[in-house]
A and B are shown apart, each in its own frame.
Chain A
Amino acid sequence: MKETDWRFKIANREARIGLGLAIFNFIWWFGFAYGMGSRPVEEYTYIFGLPDWFFYSCVVGFLLIVVLVIVIVKFFFVEVPFDEEEDER
């Protein structure tokens, strides 16, 4: 058996990062939506006119995820060739 393709280690690591990001995304979304949104409506405050729970959960949450995706792609993802290359020739 050949040793594991070096590209697979990178691929596995990146898939784990994706999973982690999705879990973080869920917790942020859920936490603000139901943590703040469960208060009585009279206690809501409004940011740019939007209910605070929605602003943090969906608007800030979305922008934060965009920033995280950019950071992850720029600093943690590695470019690898996809075709079966040199080592076989």
Chain B
Amino acid sequence: MNIAVIIPMIVFLAIIFAIGYWSSTKLTAGSSFINDYFLGSRELGGFVLAMTMVATYGSASSFLGGPGTAYTMGFGWVLLAMTQVVTGYFVLMILGKKFAIMARRYDAITMIDFLKARYQSNWVVILSALSIIIFLFSAMAAQWIGGARLVESLTGLSYNTALFIFAVSVLVYVTIGGFRAVAVTDAVQGAVMFIGTLILLIAVIIAGGGIPNIMNDLINENPNLVTPFGTDGNLSMAYVSSFWILVGVGVVGLPQITVRAMSYKNSKSMHRALIIGTVVTGFIMLNMHMIGIFARPILPGIEIGDKVIPLIALETLPAWAAGIVLAAPMAAIMSTVDSLLILVSSTIVKDVYLNYIKPDADLKAIKRISFGITGALGVVVFLLALDPPELLIFLNLFAFGGLEAAFIWPVVLGLYWKWGNKYGAIASMIVGITSYVALHFYNNANGELFGVHTVTFPVVLSFIAFIVFSLLIGRKAYDYNVKTIK
């Protein structure tokens, strides 16, 4: 592998480390350590907030898997990917100011803190902590594997060495710097993704001889490629539209995204983040997926979708520029992994340890356990990723949609519907996850039920469960104005 490709990546890693170190020097020594380490003291500005949301959300699939599928399926898949533009504004507009106010009032550091204060129920806490730890831990491991494979394919190092490099890079800056390091590195990683996709798109259009030329090649090969219906006409309207839930509005229920909606400084940061977030999400998704489809006439016959982007970058760009562009998927994976790591760690430290094991832990113990758990989690994920067990791969399948179905209503309705109570929340989480798992098996065996993505019905069912149980058992209006003592 070309050394010129590797140098930009090394520079990129060096910058990330520098930020991690800088963040660790900003950690306060005072009693607000937990708030600082896991939430950056709620001081994110608009730009960093927008970027950390986009970067956390944009993962390996936006940069490798998604464009790879667009390569095979044509414009229908780009259409599908564009359902993600909504995430740029939806999460912040829906959770919005009410979430920011309530989170401060409850003194909530994690999403579970919010649920705990709103529903006053240990069962809600235990159920949500368990689902976050199990599912997001698996999701994190899957992303590490993806990151290592990418390093492997770019540098020619063995999988284990690549994994080691990847693991050490992420672990060091997350462990020492906490949430602030995650958010600020996300901003840099987001910027790398933004610039990387733009360079690559231009290079691909030039290499293909202009867009009209590329379009002619596509139509000559298979006219279905330029329709919204996929190569064989098998992307149905219902299926593509159901991604509005999975990768669009449902994202509101993902804990790693939700926690960001309580981390910003003031209304001004939120307003600015709304604009920047929408622009950046749409720009990256549109560009990356168009690159995928435009790559087809230039490099026909790529069998493995994940390789489309690395191959096309090396084909159309000089080595050093390819290095910069390929730092983008690397950045996307790292910025997803780091957020999951700090989130799972905060769940264990704040929601389990401080709630149930040792509520009176002193500052020194809290510090030790925070660094310790974050580091230990990383080491465990590393060891598991060396030879990923089947169970891990299996659990990862539910990480995204399953968590959305579990959390979307307890969070959103908990915020806006005064009749929502703990029975509704517990029922909603159980129904959401179990129906997701059950439907997953059904769809695997029989094809998608009613032709829509698995996530659709569990989200509807958990909504019904929330409403019905809230009204049937222990019906009582919640007073949002009462200050709850933590």
> Chain A: residues with CB nearer than 8 A to chain B?
1-5, 7-8, 10-12, 14-15, 17-19, 21-22, 25-26, 29-30, 33-34, 37-38, 41, 44, 46, 48-51, 53-54, 57-59, 61-62, 65-66, 69-70, 73, 77-84
Contact = CB atoms under 8 A, between A and B. Distances in A.
A16 to B, nearest CB: 9
Interface in B414-431: 416
B206 to A, nearest CB: 13
A8 B267 CA distance: 14
Contacts, number: 141
B93 A79 contact: no
Contacts of B248: 22
Given A12-B416, A18-B90, 4 more contacts: A4-B481, A46-B212, A81-B267, A82-B97
A44 B225 CA distance: 13
Interface stretch (B21-29, B81-89, B182-190, B318-326): B81-89
Contact of A79 (B86, B237, B267): B267
Contacts of A18: 89-90, 93-94, 96
Nearest to B481: A2
Nearest to B229: A37
Interface string B241-271: 1001000110000000000000000111001
Interface string B446-473: 0000000000000000000000000000
A48 B210 CA distance: 10
Nearest to B42: A82
B79 A54 contact: yes
B266 A82 contact: yes
The dominant DSSP class at the B interface is helix
Contacts of A80: 97, 101, 267
A59 B101 contact: no
Interface size range of chain B in the complex: 35 or more
B282 A62 contact: yes
A22 B271 CA distance: 17
A82 B100 contact: yes
Contact of A59 (B224, B241, B286): B286
Nearest to A51: B226
Contacts of B93: 14-15, 17-19, 21
Given A17-B93, A65-B282, A84-B105, A1 B78 contact: no
Interface of B: 75, 78-79, 82-83, 85-86, 88-90, 93-94, 96-98, 100-101, 104-105, 210-212, 214-215, 219, 223-224, 226-229, 237, 241, 244, 248-249, 266-268, 271, 274-275, 278-279, 282, 286, 416, 479-481, 483
Contacts of A38: 228
A50 B212 CA distance: 7
B481 A73 contact: no
Contacts of B215: 46, 49-51
Contacts of B479: 1
A48 B228 contact: no
Contacts of B96: 11, 14-15, 18
B211 A57 contact: no
A6 B481 CA distance: 10
A62 B212 CA distance: 21
Contacts of A33: 79, 228
B101 A82 contact: yes
